[in-house]
Structure 1
Amino acid sequence: MTRDLKTLLRAGEAVFGTWSQIASPEMVDLVGLNGFEFTIIDCQHGFFGLETAENLARAADANDIAAAVRLPDNDPVAIMKALDAGIRHVVIPNLETAEQAELAVAATRFGPHGLRGACPCCRSGGHFIRNWPDYVAEEEARVGAIGLVESAVGVDNIEAIAATPGLTALMFGPFDLSVSMGLNGDWRHEEVERRVSRMVDTAVGLGVPVMMPVFSPHVEECRSLVAKWKGRGVSTFVIGSDKILVSDAFSRWTSALRRT
């Protein structure tokens, strides 16, 4: 395990990653080999579980990119298993309250400060930990919870959520937010943008790093959105997904070939 997500988040310069929704270590190889610095392994909308996510994380390690995993829900047992598998950060979907954020943070920490179950034989510790106190100190310094706020209720509570001690970063989901607002996926709607901007300003104002999803299928629109959010203090961007990027490459090639 090499590159550290917490270090990337604090770098102050533009950092780019993507979502891994395809259950293929080779795809993670390509993510790393083509210049991305991190990936988020998607166990919520990707059709695989933590057994597959562990192998995708191995591919991330082999390519010196940081990895996080988006879990299906805010489940302390799933958080424990992901961290034990050596995936240092968990993305918790649909955070709507500070209490939910506090639960996620607690699930990343060992007792007596948290809820994480303790086992000396797991991948994160080399499968047999001989010095438990040192391992605990190292693990609590490098793991963490990233809150994904993606509903109108979450926006209403963003100040309390962002003030939760121990959150590594916050993410905002404009597509789900548009659905929760009754806008049927129109993530470009001005009211969606206004609410996302409010959340960004709140997090940046409190010194909480922001990981901004930018999932337009058009590279120039992505460039424009990156520039806009950089101007508001965001430096970490989750670009498209492996599916979006591969589909874009396929469609450009087939379109070009048919024109000839």
Structure 2
Amino acid sequence: MIRKNPIKKGLKEGKSYIGTFAKMTDPSVVELFSLIGFDFFVIDNEHSHMSKETMDHLLRTADISGIVPIVRIRQNNRSMILQSLDGGSLGIMVPETSSRRDVEEMIYNSYYSPIGGRGFSPSHRAAGYGFMDGKEYAGLANEHVMTIAYCETAEALNNLDDMLGVPGLDVMWIGPMDLSQALGVIGDSRHPKVQEAVAHIIERCKAAGVAAGTIAANGEEAKKLLDMGVQFIGLSSDQAMIAYAGKAFMKELKD
């Protein structure tokens, strides 16, 4: 039976959720995410190097642990979306979406008919390897799969309202580091230009009824984003948390 995704419904109700990014390949990381209390995690297939088999192992661990799994793919690619969702991801995150057409393409490839045209097979993992009724599975998949587009380019900023108007979009993710490059201040995500763009995106998301999402480096930053109206926050990553804790331990020793 396909897992239900409480986050998709909760976002529409105005609720907020905190997750993180998985860049490491060990399934125990997913178990730790769940024990820590994260609502979701994102398998990072854009800025890390995971095989499809590894992705499936992390998705299986998510099912056992109860945490909501999302997959960030490398590009707006039909087969990448298909394999992620067929493997059991409850959401798809697509970087570098910069136009209404990009978002429409993502939506079309993420949902079955009548919403979209995702390639249909009732025999993959998410459908219980054929043990589910195919029609029932398609309906549940459309009900629970989350779609997450990106606003991280100058073109996306110009096309933001058109992108937000695409039916079926759940979250508009703000990429502050890529925005810093697009705005001519690469590497400085706290530059006023970037911060103004972030605030603008959040306000346009509110007006469109689409949840805003972005990354936070720490808890304090996450609180500020929540106060601004961001509903879907990726708090750091497995690698960054290890580095943070390790540096803190070494500082304690040296002090």
TM-score range, shorter chain: over 0.9
CA distance in 2, matches of 1:150, 1:115: 26
Over the residues paired in the alignment, what is the CA RMSD in angstroms? 1.7
What is the CA-CA distance between 1:120 and the residue it aligns to? 1.7
1:229: which partner in 2? 225
- Bigger mean CA deviation after superposition, 42-51 or 68-77: 42-51
- Bigger mean CA deviation after superposition, 12-21 or 84-93: 12-21
2:39: which partner in 1? 37
User: Could you tell me which amino acid in structure 1 is paired with residue 224 of structure 2?
Assistant: K
- Select which of 119, 131, 147 maps to 2:149: 147
- Bigger mean CA deviation after superposition, 51-60 or 1-10: 1-10
1:251: which partner in 2? 247
CA distance in 1, matches of 2:178, 2:190: 12
Q: TM-score, normalised by structure 1?
A: 0.91
What is the CA-CA distance between 1:227 and the residue it aligns to? 3.3
Q: Is residue 2:66 matched to residue 1:64?
A: yes
What is the CA-CA distance between 1:24 and the residue it aligns to? 1.4
CA distance in 2, matches of 1:257, 1:16: 31
Deviations 1:137-195 (A, max 9, x none): 11111113210211111111111011111012111001111012221210000010111
CA distance in 1, matches of 2:115, 2:207: 27
Q: TM-score, normalised by structure 2?
A: 0.93
2:95: which partner in 1? 93
CA distance in 1, matches of 2:4, 2:36: 17
SS at match of 1:212: strand
Task: Give structure 1 regions of 4+ aligned residues with deviation exceeding 6 angstroms.
Answer: none
Contact 1:173 1:213 in 2 (8 A): yes
SS at match of 1:254: helix
1:80: which partner in 2? 82
- Bigger mean CA deviation after superposition, 8-17 or 53-62: 8-17
Give the count of matched residue pairs. Answer: 253
What is the CA-CA distance between 1:59 and the residue it aligns to? 1.6
Structure 1 residues 247, 130: closer, same or farther in 2, change over 3 A?
closer
1:207: which partner in 2? 209
User: Could you tell me which amino acid in structure 2 is paired with residue 239 of structure 1?
Assistant: L
CA distance in 2, matches of 1:192, 1:176: 10
User: Could you tell me which amino acid in structure 2 is paired with residue 48 of structure 1?
Assistant: M
Deviations 1:68-87 (A, max 9, x none): 00000000111111111010
CA distance in 2, matches of 1:152, 1:92: 17
Alignment of 1:109-188 (within 5 A): 109-111=111-113, 113-188=115-190
SS at match of 2:250: helix
Contact 2:122 2:137 in 1 (8 A): no
Contact 1:5 1:67 in 2 (8 A): no
Matched residues, percent identical? 27
1:240: which partner in 2? 236
What is the CA-CA distance between 1:51 and the residue it aligns to? 2.1
CA distance in 2, matches of 1:46, 1:164: 29
